[in-house]
Amino acid sequence: MGLQVQEYVKSGRLVPDALVVEVVSGRLARTTARKGFCWTDSPAPSVRRRNSTPILASKKMSLDKVLYLKLSEAEAVNRLLGRAKIEGREDDNPEAIKKRMAVFTDLTEPLIAYYHAAGVLETINGDATVEAVAAAVSAALDAAR
């Protein structure tokens, strides 16, 4: 399954919901997930959110905290163009970035509202330095334990 996911990611496309659900369900079945897990994802359509709830419930798990690393559009563009120079990524060009940012915004806003209403959302300033973001993430995860 990982290779299938990698194909989507390399081409800059969103991984289909069914594949994400399959990967997550398989990962959560491992005993190491019982101690806790961190699910990192770009914005996922609401179907993923709806599908994740029964998966977690079937494993007697729940989300304690959802971290949103809020990054300004200007900083996101700057970082992606920098990544393009370093990694030679063709999908990190101004036109593609603009499209991805629009998709990101459309998909993220409902999720932010959903997790905020559920009382599990914590917003972290993604524009900060790597060290400051890492410290904020660590503090949020420590507080959720």
Q: How far apart are CA 11 and CA 8, in angstroms?
A: 5
Residues 6 or more apart whose CB falls under 8 angstroms from that of 71 comprise 79, 126, 127
pLDDT, position 129: 95
Indicate the pTM of the whole model.
0.73
Domain boundaries, the chain: 1-62, 63-145
Q: Which CATH number fits domain 63-145: 1.20.58.60, 1.10.260.40, 3.40.50.300, 3.40.190.10?
A: 3.40.50.300
pLDDT truncated to tens, each residue of the chain (145 aa)?
A: 678 888 887 777 778 878 887 888 888 888 777 777 777 765 555 555 666 777 777 777 778 888 999 999 999 999 999 999 999 888 888 888 888 888 888 888 888 898 899 899 999 999 999 999 999 999 998 888 7
118-to-6, 62, 110, 115 alpha-carbon distances in Å: 31, 12, 12, 5
